[in-house]
């Protein structure tokens, strides 16, 4: 699939060290987003009952936490990341766990995966698609290297997450007006440091175009809530509010079950 490949929108090389602490911190983002996303992913992986030595590709492995957890389940993990520093940090962590024989890490590009068609039983990409310019293309690449009947677990940022809908500054209904301002001569350009947000319908179109079918999905993370640029709740209150809303979303409460900040989706490649 040869094509001119776009660059990522964010400099992960410069922020590599910060990603090493995300799963240990007690701040809102770690509690509401990062740890629940990893825990839900591993629960889904366990439900697949993959055989020992099944082959897994993790895209954007960061500090290596997910790759290590997968290897500890008896899986053979190939990990790619765009950041050389991420590769170095994760390799050190893998070595400390004694898993270097089961985890192979290196630099790579999700837009052009260096693997043959149908190589992997499972592909995992957490927090990757919001940072690329052509996510639909990347979903096709992930599907290409997945064997027929294999699975893909990936996350996208939810365009209609509750805290964005409630804040007039972030509400997706005003996006057309904001884009018009950016197109106006002298108007502000979009900030490339901010990740993209997509609707479930858009992500489903990417899956279908790639030959993938969603089999499980979860909406994760509620908050932080703001009005304009001002936070409405303290950190501790935000965490408690997220716990209550997440429990209701997991129970299928209407209006909340698809209103979290991230959509995590397990999909299967058609045979």
The domain locations on the chain are 16-159+192-220+262-269
Residue 57 has pLDDT above 80, yes or no: yes
Higher pLDDT, 21 or 236: 236
| Mean pLDDT confidence for 151-180 | 79
For the chain, how far is it from start to end, CA to CA, in angstroms?
21
**Percent of residues in the chain assigned helix, strand, coil, to nearest 5:** 40, 20, 40
258 contact partners, CB below 8 Å, separation of at least 6: 158, 160, 200, 219
pLDDT of residue 131: 92
| Mean pLDDT confidence for 125-154 | 96
Give which of 265, 260, 269, 13 is closest to 124, Cα–Cα. Answer: 265
pLDDT of residue 21: 72
For residues 200, 206, 209 and 211, what is the CA-based torsion angle, rounded to 10 degrees?
-80
To which CATH superfamily is domain 16-159+192-220+262-269 assigned? Vaccinia Virus protein VP39 (3.40.50.150)
Give which of 78, 67, 54, 262 is closest to 151, Cα–Cα. Answer: 54
| Residue bearing tokens 């992986």 | 45
Between strands 76-81 and 212-220, the pairing is unpaired
Mean pLDDT of the chain: 87
pLDDT of residue 1: 34
Is residue 228 packed enough to be buried (19+ CB in 10 Å), middle (13-18) or exposed (0-12)? exposed
pLDDT of residue 229: 74
Please report, for residues 155, 169, 188, the alpha-carbon distance to residue 174 in angstroms, rounded to integers and kept in the order given: 24, 8, 16
pLDDT of residue 175: 56
Confidence tier at 193 by pLDDT (50, 70, 90) = low
Residue 8 has pLDDT above 70, yes or no: no
Cα 4 from Cα 104, distance rounded (Å): 27
């Amino acid at each position: 699939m040869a094509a001119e490949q776009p660059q990522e929108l964010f400099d992960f090389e410069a922020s590599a060290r910060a990603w090493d602490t995300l799963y240990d911190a007690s701040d809102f983002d770690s509690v509401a987003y990062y740890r629940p996303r990893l825990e839900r992913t591993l629960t889904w992986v366990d439900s697949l009952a993959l055989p020992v030595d099944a082959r897994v590709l993790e895209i954007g492995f960061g500090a290596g936490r997910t790759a290590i957890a997968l290897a500890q389940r008896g899986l053979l993990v190939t990990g790619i990341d765009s950041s050389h520093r991420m590769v170095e940090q994760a390799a050190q962590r893998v070595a400390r766990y004694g898993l270097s024989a089961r985890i192979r890490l290196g630099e790579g590009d999700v837009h052009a995966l260096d693997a043959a068609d149908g190589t992997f039983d499972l592909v995992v990409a957490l927090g990757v698609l919001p940072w690329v310019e052509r996510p639909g293309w990347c979903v096709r690449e992930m599907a290409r290297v997945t064997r027929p009947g294999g699975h893909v677990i990936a996350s996208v940022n939810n365009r209609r997450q509750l805290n964005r809908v409630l804040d007039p500054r972030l509400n997706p209904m005003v996006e057309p007006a904001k884009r018009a301002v950016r197109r106006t001569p002298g108007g502000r350009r979009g900030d490339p440091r901010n990740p993209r947000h997509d609707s479930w319908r858009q992500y489903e179109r990417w899956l279908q175009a790639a030959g993938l079918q969603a089999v499980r999905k979860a909406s994760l993370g509620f908050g932080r809530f703001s009005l304009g640029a001002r936070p409405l709740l303290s950190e501790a209150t935000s965490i408690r509010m997220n716990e209550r809303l997440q429990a209701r979303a997991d129970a299928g409460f209407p209006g909340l079950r698809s209103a979290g900040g991230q959509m995590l989706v397990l999909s299967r490649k058609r045979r």
